[in-house]
Amino acid sequence: MELTTVWFSLIAVLWIGYFCLEGFDFGVGMLLPVLSRSETERRVVINTIGPVWDGNEVWVLVAGGATFAAFPEWYATLFSGFYLPLLLILVALIVRGLAFEYRAKRDDDTWRARWDKAIVIGSLVPAVLWGVAFANIVRGVPIDADKEYVGTTLTLLNPYALLGGVTTLLLFLTHGALFLALKTDGEIRHRARSLGLLLGLAAAVAAVVFLTWTQAITGDLTSSALFVAAALALLGGLFAAWRAREGWAFLGTFAAIALAVAGLFVALFPDVMPTTLEGGLSLTTTNAAATSYTLTIMTWVAVLFTPIVLMYQGWTYWVFRKRIAVHHIPTPQLAAEPTR
């Protein structure tokens, strides 16, 4: 297998990891005012992701860095053409991170309410815009013969891409609700499971329409099989939620997101950014790649350090694996903040 194909596959794995892990973070953030009825319950909800949310964001940083190093032409065209949506995502992630850290710095309801809104918005914006961005990457955008994006921001807001945004939004909401059902106990657990079922049905409809449209645009038997498997995993997760098997339910949405993202990358390959222009030049794993020497060095670095990162993150999830309930939350103090 060529190193360009290896690195395309590794970047796909990084995005799968990001969407599966950060996806439930986004869902929890958006559901904060929906599933909590008091400050104590809000602290329960936030503390479910307190030890892991910043670690989950590392996946997107590594994915961006790997794209820059392995496929510099892809990185340059993507970040210039998608500048505004990517900037909005970055700002939203920064605001959300600040909200997690600062909401408990003052014992004031208004102060906390404002930061709670920042958590919701900081989770909502990326949840939608990542779907819009990836839908456009798979569908193709106007790229000329010089590998330059020649469209506008409005070009990215086409019906297919907007459906992609709605799909990721609903999937992440479902994923987050079932994560809360898995990680909490008491009233929040029951509310989250019930809401996860409703959201999951809406997500299933949106996902089926979006993935069918994707298959009609570009795809083969492999991507089709992955999309079908994703739909079955989501339905299986919802069935498990209905049976109050939260662990299996969360695993179902996790697998559904992983299989769907994998299918998108399979449908995209060997392109990394197809053009919609006649006479334009699609970016591929060949013409957008770095030199063989660069890819070789990157491969050795990945082989050495990837297992360490995976073991550390796995250890973090194991340490903070227990459920959280209202009675676990101590009396509010000025210095209190999400469990780290």
Residue 284 lies in a domain: yes
Domain with 103, as residue range(s), is 3-325
Residue 290 lies in a domain: yes
pLDDT band, very low/low/confident/very high, at 325 (cuts 50, 70, 90): confident
pTM summary value: 0.92
Residue 336 lies in a domain: no
Token pair, residue 285, equals: 């794993």
Please tell me the distance from the alpha carbon of residue 259 to that of residue 267, in angstroms, as a whole number. 12
pLDDT band, very low/low/confident/very high, at 278 (cuts 50, 70, 90): confident
CA end-to-end distance (rounded Å), the chain: 41
Please tell me the distance from the alpha carbon of residue 321 to that of residue 97, in angstroms, as a whole number. 22
Q: What's the structural domain count of the chain? A: 1
- Taking CB atoms within 8 Å and a gap of at least 24, the contacts of 85-94 are 85/129, 85/132, 85/133, 85/153, 85/156, 86/129, 86/133, 88/125, 88/129, 89/125, 89/126, 89/129, 89/130, 89/133, 92/121, 92/122, 92/123, 92/124, 92/125, 92/126, 93/57, 93/122, 93/126, 94/122
pLDDT of residue 333: 54
Please tell me the distance from the alpha carbon of residue 169 to that of residue 159, in angstroms, as a whole number. 15
Residue 330 lies in a domain: no
pLDDT tens track for 201-210: 999 999 999 9
Residue 9 lies in a domain: yes
Give me the mean pLDDT over the 205-230 stretch: 91
Cα angle 130, 58, 309 (rounded to 5 degrees) comes to 135
What is the pairing mode between strands 271-273 and 283-284? antiparallel
Checking if the pLDDT of 336 tops 50, the result is: no
Please tell me the distance from the alpha carbon of residue 205 to that of residue 260, in angstroms, as a whole number. 14
Residue 334 lies in a domain: no
Closest C-alpha to 276, from 131, 95, 141, 89: 141
Please tell me the distance from the alpha carbon of residue 84 to that of residue 165, in angstroms, as a whole number. 15
Residue 303 lies in a domain: yes
Count the Cβ atoms, other than its own, within 10 Å of residue 157: 13
Token pair, residue 244, equals: 């109050």
Count the Cβ atoms, other than its own, within 10 Å of residue 179: 25
pLDDT tens track for 232-245: 999 999 999 999 99
Contact 173, 312 (CB under 8 A): no
Residue 246 lies in a domain: yes
Checking if the pLDDT of 135 tops 50, the result is: yes
pLDDT band, very low/low/confident/very high, at 334 (cuts 50, 70, 90): very low
